[in-house]
Amino acid sequence: MNVLMAAPEAFPYAKTGGLADAAGALAAELAKMNNRVLLVMPFYRTVKERFPARFFGGPFEVSIGEHAFIGSLYRHENAVFIGCDQLYDRPELYGTPSGDYPDNAVRFIFFSRGIFEAARVCGFKPDIIHCHDWQAGLAPAYLENIYRRDPFFSGTKSVFTIHNMGYQGVFRAEVLPLSGLPPDIFNPEGIEFYGKVNFLKAGITWADIVTTVSPTYARQIQTPEYGFGLDGVLRRRADRLRGIINGIDHRLWDPARDRYIPENYSAPKNLTGKGVCKKKLSSLCGFEDASRPLVCFVGRLSHQKGSDLAAAVAGEAVAEGVNLVFLGKGDEPYQLELEALGEKYPKNLCVRIGFDEEFSHLVYAGSDIFLMPSRYEPCGLGQMIALRYGAPPVATDTGGITDTVRNYLPLSGAGTGFLFAEASPASLRQSLWYALCVYRGAGRWRGVIRNAMAEDFSWRKSAERYVEVYREAMGI
């Protein structure tokens, strides 16, 4: 099967979050399963600087309003990059901590049209265009409303994956004429969202099949609480909506082979390396007493991820005898809040602001407990990585966390983590205290670690589910 994977970010090229891991790993796994896969993404500065991508085709022109933008294609292995320096040669992917780039609508109109140009230039006739998130949300609309008439794409079907309902790409109505899409789609059944244009809604409306990244989140987003205003649209498409949990890249996230940690380890027998990792992490963080339980948070600093909830219990946790590491990047108020905590508790609380992939490996490996107090969580990779590295999560029972973490049962000793229902400081505190009690009963804790590390989150199972969905879209 020919699969064109259209993603605004993909590991290893560019990453701000879990979408990059998912798109990169899924593309690689599908290729291993003998599909032809073409990964298409923008040619950001970070890609230009770090990968020897070669000029591959173009120029092609896309008119956006009065302006003609010129694009070129670059290739590196199985990835094709859509280049347009004016739009993508910037320090960040989507914006700075103070806000999104003001021309994001234009940047991703260009990308969504460029996908079709890339397919043509590569002579790659896709059976499936698999689009990810609002940045590629217009592509299913282009396919249905424009490219369907083109013999090159007449057999092409689209699958649209929602990684997070909280990011929809909502723009002023004046953006629609810029897109080149027909004006009559501006209605509530089409692309309109309360007088504005909504790119995510376009993907949901015109894709042959819509997926999201866990079965629980697929159910939740059909309710007002989680649908961010699009629950009605999703209910309308419920018969075409599927939930497929992401995997993690087991080669990249493997404590037995990880190059970024001082000593490798594996369950059930060879766990001593984990202690070495904890020592190294504690010394890098400047902790005075490395024998304390080490609790970490790794993630975007945003309302969704609940870093503020973790911050709210940090002082008491330190008083309870815990060391804490925060690794994160995101909204400024959350960054400042954490930095202040770091200054207040220099011997027991370490804050690293920034996106540091390498350091994150050591944090997962060196920690005893992983905090994930998300207010909602489409899938979440952090908890799966933490499980694999033997750092049982204390996490909200929501979305993909529900589908991947099994709550600890004290009598049988079954379970892999500690779940709480409501994302609040009180619930987080209660669950963390409970986890610490189990931690202090050392034998029981080793059982939880073993359960956690025995879970299988490899991509193969998820990729097989996607192939089923592609077949369904193609009607075979």
Task: Name which position in 8, 18, 306, 415 contacts ligand ADP (CB under 6 A).
Answer: 18
Residue 261 touches ligand ADP, criterion: CB under 6 A: no
Task: For ligand ADP, give the closer residue by CB, 198 or 383.
Answer: 383
Angle subtended by helix axes 104-121 and 138-145, to nearest 10: 60
Could you tell me the end-to-end alpha-carbon distance of the chain, in angstroms, rounded to an integer? Answer: 12
Query: b vs e for 330-341, b when ≥16 Cβ sit within 10 Å of the residue's Cβ?
Result: bbeebbebbeeb
Task: For ligand ADP, give the closer residue by CB, 203 or 380.
Answer: 380
User: CB–CB of 168/134 below 8 Å?
Assistant: yes
Give the interface size with ligand ADP as a residue count (CB under 6 A): 19
For 254, list phi and psi in degrees, rounded to 5: -145, 105
Q: Which of residues 291-320 bind ligand ADP (CB under 6 A)?
A: 298-300
Residue 46 touches ligand ADP, criterion: CB under 6 A: no
Residues 6+ apart with CB under 8 A from 335: 97, 301, 328, 329, 353
Region near ligand ADP per CB under 6 A, out of 17-25, 215-223, 407-415, 438-446: 17-25
Give the nearest distance from C-beta 247 to ligand ADP in angstroms: 12
Residue 51 touches ligand ADP, criterion: CB under 6 A: no
Give the nearest distance from C-beta 353 to ligand ADP in angstroms: 8
User: CB–CB of 1/127 below 8 Å?
Assistant: yes
Give the nearest distance from C-beta 382 to ligand ADP in angstroms: 4
Give the nearest distance from C-beta 298 to ligand ADP in angstroms: 5
Residue 462 touches ligand ADP, criterion: CB under 6 A: no
The C-alpha atoms of residue 328 and residue 196 are separated, in whole angstroms, by 32
Give the nearest distance from C-beta 393 to ligand ADP in angstroms: 11
Q: Which of residues 318-347 bind ligand ADP (CB under 6 A)?
A: 327-329
Task: For ligand ADP, give the closer residue by CB, 302 or 427.
Answer: 302
Task: Name which position in 85, 357, 422, 468 contacts ligand ADP (CB under 6 A).
Answer: 357
The C-alpha atoms of residue 433 and residue 185 are separated, in whole angstroms, by 53
Give the nearest distance from C-beta 328 to ligand ADP in angstroms: 5
The C-alpha atoms of residue 111 and residue 434 are separated, in whole angstroms, by 48
Give the nearest distance from C-beta 379 to ligand ADP in angstroms: 6
Task: For ligand ADP, give the closer residue by CB, 137 or 328.
Answer: 328
Q: Half-sphere exposure of residue 171, counting CA atoms within 13 Å on the CB side? A: 26
Task: For ligand ADP, give the closer residue by CB, 19 or 325.
Answer: 19
User: CB–CB of 384/404 below 8 Å?
Assistant: yes
DSSP per-residue codes, 185-247: G-STTTTEETTEEEHHHHHHHH-SEEEES-HHHHHHTTSHHHHTT-HHHHHHTGGGEEE----
| Composition of the chain by helix, strand, coil, percent to 5 | 40, 20, 35
Binding-site string for ligand ADP from residue 368 to residue 397, where x marks contact by CB under 6 A and - marks none: -----------xxxx--x------------
Q: Which residues bind ligand ADP (CB under 6 A)?
A: 17-19, 21, 298-300, 327-329, 355-357, 360, 379-382, 385
